[in-house]
Structure 1
């Protein structure tokens, strides 16, 4: 075949091949191998964390920034690594979640760049798991060093309270929910869809133990007191980062003396005394627990702060049923809601108390009854200080089952407020709560 003919045949062959459709590729027959990745977020309260809703934000941009995508969308960085929990108020004065007493968690952007909060998630016992959509934060940028305060109101509060507002350099958002932060065994975690970036564990140790926390939990704060991070730039994920402080949502620790971490003021020895105990009030057994009370008096010449005090029916400060006390009603005669003036009395009751309140301060446990399911005729009653010292006692006798007993449905009264806790110093008499 002449060379020209061979060249023509080759060209025709190439054209024919180019017109043929390529063969279809087989689909992958096996999934990708599991590389052993671990989800460091995961449900912390047994409830699956809801997935962040799909959006058109495109691929992440540089950390803490937003930029334009090729298609005109916005780059959003899901990483919130520079977000810190800086203050938590778990037990505000008055009704938790009331119109004037919201619980709150304060967060701060400690970086030098704005932080897009679209991927934010907050998991706090016993709040519902919250995300940016539920808090109205989609598209919101938290400025460098700025603070975000998330508040919880009870569901009977004004819905307008949950709307976003800006006060000075702090942004406040909120939500309405019946479940409040746990007072004595709390866990708070913040982060993105698949990572926890900061955690706080206080009171009792949670089960299972969180991976990010180290050592013992932070001691639960007293009623009306916050837990504050001492230095937002320091994060050891342990109790050394935290201290009790006066609540001041949205304010900077270093520039606010009232927010600087402070130690509880010690209660002077002998300042407080249990003077009346109603462990067997009149009525059927099913109702009497809701009428039990313990009355104390301030025998000193100084104001005594009761925040952080606890009451129980056992001789160990960490026994089951030892309850923290929080403000319920009345006035102790000094500035703090949980302060008791010299000579003033306070009534200690369960949350479900239905009896008379009297004229003084009323503090309630965080349970429906006093101590471990209420008081009995022969159990002791012990008042504990924040440092676990025993402040005052009733019925810590060699024979707690001995006379006098509240068998006649009347309280026992201490004959002399300064008398020792001995059987001969107690007498049965009609109730005088708050008098």
Structure 2
């Protein structure tokens, strides 16, 4: 740090008399931060791009190389034309495995302006993706023509890195990355622009704790599995509210021609319609492995179809406890058109997305998975409750919300607990230990 001017005369003799060798450059340099090591991939020229740490959700200045000038990569200030970018489509819950080779999550942007947009200063913050910039996506030096599209795709960390290479199809530029963290299904938030200014945002699902100041009114309802949220092709005006958006079939690289319409929320689940009837919190095997075999079974006791998209599962009596997980379609059939719908009398299993138990021999049960490797906060325990939450944070059904959840009956014999009468209240006397019957 330079000395203040008033000390310059005092320091000059010391400087002129000093005969010391200057310190080596590497002695003055701070050690490089450890960015973590999840995935790496290379752009077309083979130059490696740093991988993202799983928890990279920090402020703009946390981006590697960000010097605070708004460009996100330590270079020249961001192109003001980045303000021309608009979100046009977001797919948070593709069919099959989220981030699988044939089922990437994606967000799509369009340049609605009349001039090209230089993407060097681009910044994308989409929960729970890492914060992305042009350097990370291989977009430095790339511009987006007027009315052209940019599609950013996320594959799981075990996918082929070649999938993430930049390529152009017609007027759409596709880029991607590999990462273990997927877009949130239940309470999502996407912002795009430069590090110093947001060009567009989308709030969907449940109300997030830190929504953008510009967003007006309620979030856009999550459309459910295999459906996108789309902005209509003619909707260049940005109202920053749910009226800009509707659900649609996924069409990355093609702007939807469907007119914007008011989002349709699924009908609420009637009280008592869906019940937790079986909980396997202590399956056979070593404790370190049992969480991959845990499951929860639901049944629809009503005479109407119920939509489970937007529901979440947790192991605590509060809806905002750590580990409360959104549910995604994994397998099976609930007996109605929507992949997350449950017909009257039908059953559904809830598992972690690393579930290692039987999937095939489970009858006609619908199988829903959490968005991480286990159910709730690191898996279930013998005395923790289980709560199924609706999209409005109402309790749909519960297990072990007792006055003494540590009391009997306990799953200490490595068998699930079953509700003796599916319509019975959640009380200790309503549960017994018995062999597992998932899907039956």
Tell me the TM-score normalised to structure 2 length. 0.70
Once the 2 structures are TM-superposed, how far is the Cα of residue 312 of structure 1 from its aligned partner?
1.3
Point out where structure 2 has 5 or more consecutive residues left out of the alignment: 6-58, 67-71
**Are 1:415 and 2:420 counterparts?**
yes
**Is 1:392 matched up with 2:397?**
yes
SS at match of 1:325: strand
Structure 1 residues 345 and 193, CA, compared in 2 at 3 Å: closer, same or farther? closer
Q: Distance in 1 between matches of 2:378 and 2:139?
A: 41
Q: 1:303 to 1:176 in 2, by over 3 A?
A: same
Counterpart contact for 1:205–1:216, Cα < 8 Å: no
Counterpart for residue 427 of structure 1: 432
Which residue does the alignment assign to 1:86? 88
Of residues 271, 274, 281 in structure 1, which corresponds to 2:273? 271
* Distance in 2 (alpha carbons) for counterparts of 1:172 and 1:265: 38
Report whether the alignment pairs 1:338 with 2:343: no
> How far off its partner does 1:259 sit?
8.0
Deviation at 1:311, TM superposition (A): 0.9
Structure 2 residue corresponding to 1:131, chosen from 134, 141, 146: 134
Matches within 5 A, 1:212-227: 213=214, 218=219, 221=222, 223-224=224-225, 225-227=227-229
Which position in structure 2 is the counterpart of 1:149?
151
Contact 1:243–1:262 (CA<8 Å) still a contact in 2? no
| Cα pair distance change 1:386/1:194, threshold 3 Å | closer
Q: CA deviation at 1:105?
A: 0.9
User: Which whole-Å deviations, capped at 9, do the CAs of 1:371-430 have from their partners, x for residues lacking one?
Assistant: 223222232211111122221122223333333222222111122223332333322100
- The answer to whether the 8 A contact 1:325-1:366 is kept is yes
Instruction: Quote the residue 1:261 is aligned against.
Output: 263
Q: Deviations over 1:265-303 (max 9, x none)?
A: 322333311110112222232222222210011223333
Within 5 Å, which residues of 2 pair with 1:21-60?
43=60, 46-49=63-66, 51=73
Which residue, out of 376, 379, 383, partners 2:381? 376
Counterpart for residue 167 of structure 2: 164
| 1:35 equivalent in structure 2 | none
- CA RMSD across the alignment: 3.8
Q: Distance in 2 between matches of 1:244 and 1:316?
A: 30
TM-score (norm 1): 0.71
CA–CA separation in structure 1 for the residues paired with 2:321 and 2:354: 22
| 1:321 positional shift | 2.4
Specify the structure having the higher radius of gyration (Cα): 1
What is aligned with 1:402? 407
CA distance in 2, matches of 1:193, 1:100: 31
Indicate how the Cα distance of structure 1 residues 373 and 234 shifts in structure 2: closer, same or farther if over 3 A, else same.
same
Deviation at 1:139, TM superposition (A): 5.6
Q: Is the 8 A contact 1:117 1:132 kept in 2?
A: no
By how many angstroms is 1:338 displaced? 1.9
Contact 2:73 2:135 in 1 (8 A): no
The alignment status of 1:122 with 2:123, answered yes or no, reads yes
Where does structure 1 lack aligned partners over 5 or more consecutive residues?
1-29, 31-41, 55-59, 61-75
Distance 1:204 1:282, change over 3 A: same
- Cα separation, 1, equivalents of 2:324 and 2:195: 37
- Conservation of the 8 A alpha-carbon contact between 1:294 and 1:347: yes
Residues 79 and 192, structure 1, Cα contact 8 Å, conserved in 2: no
Q: Which residue of 1 aligns with 2:355?
A: 353
TM-superposed CA distance for 1:152, in Å, is 2.5
Q: How far apart, CA to CA, are the structure 1 residues paired with 2:83 and 2:194?
A: 9
Q: SS state of the match for residue 290, structure 1? A: coil
164 and 301 in structure 1: CA distance in 2 versus 1, 3 angstrom threshold: farther
Show the counterpart of 2:284.
282
* Structure 2 Cα separation of the partners of residues 221 and 99 of structure 1: 23
**Cα distance, 1:246 vs structure 2:** 3.8
Post-superposition CA distance 1:132-157 (Å, at most 9, x none): 8945695654334x543322334524
* d(CA) in 2 for partners of 1:247, 1:51: 35
